[in-house]
Amino acid sequence: MPNIVLFSGSSHHDLSQRVADRLGLELGKVVTKKFSNQETSVEIGESVRGEDVYIIQSGCGEINDNLMELLIMINACKIASASRVTAVIPCFPYARQDKKDKKGSVERWSRAPISAKLVANMLSVAGADHIITMDLHASQIQGFFDIPVDNLYAEPAVLQWIKENIPEWRNCIIVSPDAGGAKRVTSIADRLNVEFALIHKERKKANEVDRMVLVGDVKDRVAILVDDMADTCGTICHAADKLLSAGATKVYAILTHGIFSGPALSRINNASFEAVVVTNTIPQEEKMKHCPRIQFIDISMILAEAIRRTHNGESVSYLFSHVPL
C-alpha cells in the first residue's frame, strides 16, 4: 500500500499493531512523552509529506491525556504537509455526553454541555480530514462533524462469535438492556432469525439504575444481552438477574466497548453470566486477569479493512456486513 503511514497513539498499542499486521505495514515512528509539568510532547519520527496518514487512538485509559495526544499528533502531521490525516478512534471519547441531560431542574438542564460536539470541533480544528470510529453511543454524533465520519459496526464479529461459541444459539433471544438499544438488537436478531426482548430502565442518577421492566418472553431460552458499552456494569448485572428470574436458562453479555470502571469487575464476578464478551476497542488484558468471565473479540480486521478501503477510495458504507473476519 504506497503513500500510507500508520501511527499509533499510546492508548492501545496492541490494537494498532494488530491493524498494522493485517495491512502488512510497519507502524510509523513517533515518540510521545510528558514534560515535568505534565504537558504532552509528540515527535513524528519520519516524513509524512504527501502521505495518507492514519492515527489510531482509542478513548480509554487516561482519556483527557490521550485525547490531547491525538490532537497534537493530528496537528503535527497536518503542518508537516500530510495529504490527508484520518483519526481512527475505536472508542469515541465523551460519546455519552451527546445531548443536554433532561435530569434535574430546567435551569441545570439549560447549562449542561454537549461535550461530544466539543470533541468533534477540537478534532476538526486540529486538522483531521476524516474520522473512523466504531459503534458510536449515539449516531447523531456523526452530524457534529463537517468532515466525513465512518461509524463502523462490530455486528459481523458479534454474529460470528455467537454462532461459534453458543451451541444453543438457535434457541436464544437477543435482549437490549435499555430502549435505546432496540435497533441494535433487532438487527442482530433478524440476522440470526431469532426473537428479541428489551428492558426498560429508570435511573435515579448516572450509573445507578432504580427500576427495570422486562418486555418479552425469555423463559427456557438462552438470553444474550447486547449493548454498545458497559462502564460500572450495574445495568447489565441487574439485567442478568432480571432475565434469570424470568426463566432464562443462561445469560451472556456482548458489548462493543468494555470500559469496566469502579466496581465493574467485582460485579461481573458476582453475577450469573456464562461470559461477558467485549471487543478490543479498549485494552482488556489486565481486566481479564482479574475477571475470568471476560472474553474479547478482535476487531482489528474491521478497522484494517476500513483503512484499506478509505486509502483506495472505496466505499466503507456496507463494510459491517461484508468484512471477512
Strands 130-134 and 84-89, sheet pairing? parallel
Indicate left, alpha or beta for 302 from its phi (over 0: left) and psi (-120 to 50: alpha): alpha
DSSP code, position 317: T
Q: Could you give the CA distance from residue 184 to residue 202 in angstroms, rounded to a whole number? A: 20
Residue with cell 465512518: 150
CB neighbour list of residue 38: distance below 8 Å, 6 or more residues apart? none
* Phi (first) and psi of residue 101, to 5 degrees: -75, 130
Q: In the prediction, which pLDDT does 76 show?
A: 96
Diameter of the chain by CA atoms? 61
Q: In the prediction, which pLDDT does 322 show?
A: 45
Give the three-state DSSP class for 299.
coil
Q: In the prediction, which pLDDT does 324 show?
A: 41
pTM of the predicted model, to two decimals? 0.91
Residue with cell 427495570: 212
- Whole-number Cα distances in Å, 124 to 77, 131, 143: 13, 9, 13
Q: Which of 173, 247, 179 is nearest to 213 (CA)?
A: 179
Q: Could you give the CA distance from residue 177 to residue 252 in angstroms, rounded to a whole number? A: 12
DSSP code, position 3: T
- The CA-based angle 247-252-253, given to 5 degrees, is 125
What kind and span of H or E run contains 151?
Answer: strand 149-152
Q: In the prediction, which pLDDT does 211 show?
A: 72
Per-residue pLDDT of the chain (325 residues; tens, 9 = 90+): 679 999 999 999 999 999 999 999 999 999 999 999 999 999 999 999 999 999 999 999 999 999 999 999 999 999 999 999 999 999 999 999 998 866 655 555 567 889 999 999 999 999 999 999 999 998 889 999 999 999 999 999 999 999 999 999 999 999 999 888 888 899 999 999 999 999 987 655 665 656 788 889 999 999 999 999 999 999 899 999 999 999 999 999 999 999 999 999 999 999 999 999 999 999 999 999 999 999 999 999 999 999 999 999 988 865 554 444 4
Task: List the grid coordinates of 66.
Answer: 490521550
